Structure 1
Amino acid sequence: MSVQTMNVKEVAKKVLNKEQLFILDVRNEDDFNDWKIEGEQFSYVNTPYFDLIDGIDPIKDQLPTDQDILVVCAKGGSSEFVGEMLVEEGYENVYSLEGGMKAWSEHLEPIKVADLTDGGELYQFVRLGKGCLSYMIISGDEAATIDAVRMTDVFVDFAKEKGAKITHALDTHLHADHISGGRRLAEKTGATYWLPPKDATEVQFEYKPLNDQDVIQVGSSNIDVHALYSPGHTIGSTSFIVDDQYLLSGDILFVNSIGRPDLAGKAEDWVGDLRETLYSRYKEVSSELYVLPAHFMTNDELNEDGSVGEKLGTLYEKNHGLNVEDESEFRSMVTENLPPQPNSHQEIRETNMGKISPDHDRQREMEIGPNRCAIQ
């Protein structure tokens, strides 16, 4: 018997279905502590690969004999080696994660969020390994993406399966934690790429300016995407009200937190914009709107179906970031609780501006690590 493989889609199903899984992570301790596969029913042992080259004796008493064991490393090679040793020692149901954490970082799980006007549909693409959330609106034979990530084939193929072609690609802002797929989608499909102009002052490519109160119609039905200028995470951050029912908040508002204003080094300048958006602009829209953010922090924010979202009125009741009445206290909370910067954030910003064009392997390296777009 040899070690079996488990692909990232199978792992994603275990996360969403809250199944049990034992993970032996053989990456370095710092890498594991910084970022791992999160699962409500998962158990973990982290022992670096180099500590196991001579055998698995150091961890034998920590491994289950009655449960699947998934061995995880960065790319899939070391996990296969360790998995083979486990099998040789008599362990059954041992799996190596195919493609390792790099593959986990790239997996997208499409989840239907809602039916829209005239047969339209709204889908959320959950990037479990990175905390990114992308969206697709389908109306007849047309589709629009919002905050698409760089794995653009997923969106093109999904639209094709639904009998639609992507005609619009929108970004709520210039992203700093992951590489946007919006421009590439436009190049591949002929779609219009929309970007807030205040975030696009340094971009090196053509785009359609996305201004406050712009309305984009998707398909021949009455599904409208209303742009709502909502600065704070960036100076150009723009939210979208879709079909008068859903508020796509970008990185301004999350289920359990609020966006950080410092990824362009302007925390003190932009914290006032962030407060105005959260405490004034969003107060002017219906509290019945269902908020769909561009990121989530932990799996606690996943709903039963695996989607992420909550009604705006509920967030005003429960989200601490929306309930700090004193402005100076709000400023302190935001500027003094900033998490570490996302890995390679400046390089990612420059990629999204079109200033640099890293190859595929470098892009994967740049995105390794957890989501860090929220105030902790």
Structure 2
Amino acid sequence: MMEQQTSVKVMTAHELTQLLFAQEELFILDVRNTSDYENWRIEGHRVVSMNIPYFDLLDGVESVLEKIPVHQKVLVVCAKEGSSIFVAEMLAEAGFTDVSYLQGGMKAWSDHLEPVKVGELRDGGAIYQFVRIGKGCLSYMIVSGGEAAVVDTLRMTDVYEAFAAKHQWTIKHTIDTHLHADHISGGKKLAERLDASYWLPEKDAEEVTYFYRKLEEGQEIQVGATKIAILPIYSPGHTIGSTSLLVDDTYFLTGDSLFVASIGRPDLAGKAEDWVGDLHNTLYNRYKELPEHLVVLPAHFGSYTEIGPMGVVSARLGDLYRNNPGLTIADESEFRHIVTHHLPPQPNAYQEIRQVNMGKLKPSEEEQQEMEVGPNRCAIHDK
């Protein structure tokens, strides 16, 4: 009699992202160390997860079988993949019929970018949001007349390059809305590879070691022959140089100043007391003067609950002034106190990441991945 073969499936980060966007049911068994799980894990609208460290399962999975749903999709997750394969195979041998492991583990989950179309532009172009769902980072590609600009580019530059090449678009500009502290920017790298222009606010660039074009209020950065203009709007607070982009009088790219459910933090350069006034002025005066119909497209999200239909993270500016807790603090002194005294933990290796983005440190690819592990923590009101 032949020995029965177990059936363990592989789930890619792309497949998992699509499953979460569709809000399908999923049970996750995360076999990383408890501290790693509590710091950062996969979440979703209909996701239930349980943490049992791998070393507690070396002698078998019998002790946890009753805690795992039999007739539901089960995904086993670990840091890099190996441990999850071993545990998934044991679950399959125990009779679970729909068991998968996450290909590449949380390392692959952290680096995955999912392009999602936000909408059309009036003269025939389009804007795409690249969702780094495992870390909460958002970047953008604005396309018109066969040309493209990439905003707040992440270090996985091959994704943008391949996406543009697939559609036969030429990337002419890369733009950073500010000097990032939670992730390594790929803007300069992508611009150099493609002979494109790299833009950065001058006030954030005092210590950078490379050439850049100054992103200043009043400019128009043209993309394509159809003249879809990107209009920079100076909006300090998260950093002293933070600059938002108004695209096609419809889309408002706010960087890390304003999010869907929270606001930016002013302390990642060690100047919270100095910059909190700028942040208040940006949010309560400068942005308040703009039309309510603008579609806010931030550079981050703090929770899966901010991901809307089809995976897009966005909100009308007018709605945010009614619903975003960071925009409903009437008293300025109270705002200052909340912003400077109720800050969440700072991002992993944020000081070193700032140095990398200035061009002062040049870590290896593996070192860059390690620097970025964990949640982004760029917001005040994130859970």
TM bucket (normalised to shorter chain) is over 0.9
Which of 60, 72, 75 is the equivalent residue of 2:77?
A: 72
Whether contact under 8 Å (1:117, 1:221) holds in the other structure is: no
Whether contact under 8 Å (1:147, 1:170) holds in the other structure is: yes
Q: 2:197 and 2:63 mapped to 1: Cα distance? A: 56
Alignment of 1:221-240 (within 5 A): 221-240=226-245
Query: Which is worse superposed, 75-84 or 165-174?
Result: 75-84
Which of 247, 256, 269 is the equivalent residue of 1:242?
A: 247
Which of 41, 50, 56 is the equivalent residue of 1:45?
A: 50
Whether contact under 8 Å (1:249, 1:292) holds in the other structure is: yes
Q: CA deviation at 1:117?
A: 2.7
Which of 134, 137, 142 is the equivalent residue of 2:147?
A: 142
Which of 98, 101, 106 is the equivalent residue of 1:101?
A: 106
- Pair 1:310 & 2:289 matched: no
Q: Partner amino acid for 1:368?
A: V
Q: CA deviation at 1:294?
A: 0.5
* Aligned twin of 1:217: 222
Query: Which is worse superposed, 295-304 or 56-65?
Result: 56-65
Q: 1:73 and 1:86 mapped to 2: Cα distance? A: 15
Q: Partner amino acid for 1:211?
A: E
Runs of 4+ in 1 over 6 A off after TM superposition: none
Q: 1:69 and 1:310 mapped to 2: Cα distance? A: 33
Q: Partner amino acid for 1:115?
A: E
Whether contact under 8 Å (1:213, 1:229) holds in the other structure is: no
Q: CA deviation at 1:58?
A: 2.2
Which of 231, 253, 276 is the equivalent residue of 2:258?
A: 253
Q: CA deviation at 1:88?
A: 2.3
Gaps of 5+ in 2: 1-5
Q: CA deviation at 1:182?
A: 0.3
* Aligned twin of 2:19: 14
Q: Partner amino acid for 2:256?
A: D
- Pair 1:333 & 2:347 matched: no
- Pair 1:206 & 2:206 matched: no
Which of 31, 39, 53 is the equivalent residue of 2:36?
A: 31
> Secondary structure of 2:310's match?
coil
- 1:180-203 per-position Cα deviation (integer Å, ceiling 9, x unaligned): 110111011111000001111111
Q: Partner amino acid for 2:346?
A: Q
- 1:219-261 per-position Cα deviation (integer Å, ceiling 9, x unaligned): 1112000000000000000000001111100000011110000
Q: 2:72 and 2:308 mapped to 1: Cα distance? A: 26
Q: 1:30 and 1:213 mapped to 2: Cα distance? A: 47
* Aligned twin of 2:3: none
> Secondary structure of 2:333's match?
helix
Which of 284, 290, 300 is the equivalent residue of 1:285?
A: 290
* Aligned twin of 1:86: 91
Q: CA deviation at 1:371?
A: 2.0
- Pair 1:174 & 2:179 matched: yes
- Pair 1:263 & 2:268 matched: yes
> Secondary structure of 1:118's match?
coil
Q: 2:191 and 2:336 mapped to 1: Cα distance? A: 38
Q: CA deviation at 1:89?
A: 2.2
RMSD: 1.0
Q: 1:351 and 1:160 mapped to 2: Cα distance? A: 28
- 1:321-350 per-position Cα deviation (integer Å, ceiling 9, x unaligned): 112121110001111110000001011111
The alignment of Structure 1 onto Structure 2 pairs a total of residues equal to: 376
* Aligned twin of 2:362: 357
Q: CA deviation at 1:214?
A: 1.4
Q: CA deviation at 1:206?
A: 0.8
- Pair 1:369 & 2:374 matched: yes
Gaps of 5+ in 1: none
Whether contact under 8 Å (1:142, 1:166) holds in the other structure is: yes
> Secondary structure of 1:84's match?
helix
Q: 1:69 and 1:374 mapped to 2: Cα distance? A: 32
Whether contact under 8 Å (2:7, 2:97) holds in the other structure is: no
* Aligned twin of 1:63: 68
- 1:242-289 per-position Cα deviation (integer Å, ceiling 9, x unaligned): 011111000000111100000011100000000010111112222221
